[in-house]
Structure 1
């Protein structure tokens, strides 16, 4: 896990022409998205095919990601972040727990930019797998250049679920995902590009990345 320093980030929603500034406390973020090998080991599945074990796991819903975070936290002896209702519909996050969780949207964008100010932290072909160079499929993690904070594949390869609701008043339970993917055109692979879908949604270019809060016990 990479320690991300505290700071602030300017967020915007082009749909409603709104901008706001979010404070980000120091936290930890995985240098790469969750791979098929890690996901399947925790979920007790066999990796098929074997040569794709180091590609990001895809076809995972937001609810799948929440379950994985709790299972991994328990296996690591950490306090779980998520409390899930019996019907699975209501999820509460304890951000002070030391277990694994999804990053917030503000954390994700702040970490992606890594102190830069542009739409991307480098030349797209150097940092991301996207429609023009991915050969129509997901690619192994960590093969493109990282950003200044040592994070790989923040843009391209797979979209990444975030914790946040997109707009509860308009879209109900829809959650945010960020970053672009192997199937995305260049314009969709940028630090401020926002997408959303229902938390049960699964598709072959959407995965997630692990975060952890920095607590007094760490």
Structure 2
């Protein structure tokens, strides 16, 4: 059988083949946000019937957790500023101000805008709808701090969409406890708060760059401490979880829970995002 040498092909044919390979590779990469996907950790769901000590959500009644993925870190100031402007106070050196510090001084409303803008930019289906639209450009100005808005309060969430959203309180605690393992550690990833959390005893009253402490069993950082994290609504308020640099030790526990008005923008409150897929 006669051997065919690559060098025997016409130079224009070779160039065309190389161009095709390059274009195909580029298109394949651009169809999936690789850097974004690498930051997400898979959380395999289950039906939880256990009553976990002091938990506000796992009390012995059946709680179904579907598969989802959670970002390994809190949304940073760099990530937030790529899609949104601040609608109140901006990060200050006093509370931590650099690209890799978590965003804060953001409200539940601000988080909705961020999630949908990022989803749209990455070609994903937005989760939130306000004024019968999933495009934040149609929502009007984001309500001012401590000014609740009836239309914004009527936000709808499509939990089946593949875009970015806030976790529910149940999803947040499930992930903080290590997912399927439902670990009983008091803090997310440890019984020792100093190992995993920035809180009022080891900070100077300011946040710290993300991903500096030990992650939990799922590879999630700062689920205890740094900034408290906004979750989906309960009884008209945004749930907050995880404690912050301004919190006492007990507020950083995986079961500690609280709430804030949906329009509040606070110096130690930020958020992280989830998606309805497993990476």
Normalising by the smaller structure, the TM-score range is 0.7 to 0.9
Q: More displaced, 196-205 or 112-121? A: 112-121
Q: Point out where structure 2 has 5 or more consecutive residues left out of the alignment.
A: 1-39, 132-138, 140-150
Secondary structure of the equivalent of 2:152? coil
Q: CA RMSD in A?
A: 2.6
Q: Does 1:3 align with 2:39?
A: no
Q: Specify every segment of 5 or more residues in structure 1 that has no aligned partner in the other structure, as ranges.
A: none
Q: Secondary structure at the match of 1:196?
A: strand
Residue 197, structure 1, aligned to residue 252, structure 2: no
Q: TM-score, normalised by structure 1?
A: 0.88
- Counterparts in 2 of 1:31 and 1:11: CA distance versus 1, 3 Å: farther
What CA distance in whole angstroms lies between the structure 1 residues aligned with 2:56 and 2:91?
A: 42
Greater per-residue helix proportion: 2
**Aligned residue pair count:** 210
Per the alignment, residue 57 of structure 1 pairs with: 103
1:16: Cα distance to partner? 9.3
Specify whether residues 144 and 155 from structure 1 end up closer, same or farther in structure 2 by C-alpha distance, changes over 3 A only.
same
**TM value normalised by structure 2:** 0.69
Question: Do the aligned partners of 1:83 and 1:93 also contact (CA within 8 Å) in 2?
Answer: yes
Q: What's the CA shift for 1:89?
A: 2.6
Counterpart selection for 2:273 from 207, 210, 213 = 210
Deviation at 1:203, TM superposition (A): 0.5
Higher strand share: 1
What are the superposed Cα offsets for residues 147-167 of structure 1, whole Å, 9 maximum, x if unpaired?
0110000000000011131xx
Runs of 4+ in 1 over 3 A off after TM superposition: 8-18, 44-51
CA drift of 1:21 comes to: 3.8
Select 1:23's aligned residue among 64, 80, 95.
Answer: 64
Pick the aligned partner of 1:38 from 67, 79, 83.
79
Corresponding residue number in structure 1 for 2:157: 93
CA distance in 1 between partners of 2:218 and 2:58 (Å): 28
Larger radius of gyration: 2
The offset of 1:7, in angstroms, is 2.0
Indicate if the aligned counterparts of 1:30 and 1:151 stay in contact, CA closer than 8 A.
yes
Question: Residue 11 of structure 1 contacts residue 22 of structure 1 at CA under 8 Å; is this kept in 2?
Answer: no
Query: Per the alignment, do residues 48 and 197 of structure 1 end up closer, same or farther by CA in structure 2, a change over 3 Å counting?
Result: closer
Q: Which residue of 2 aligns with 1:155?
A: 224
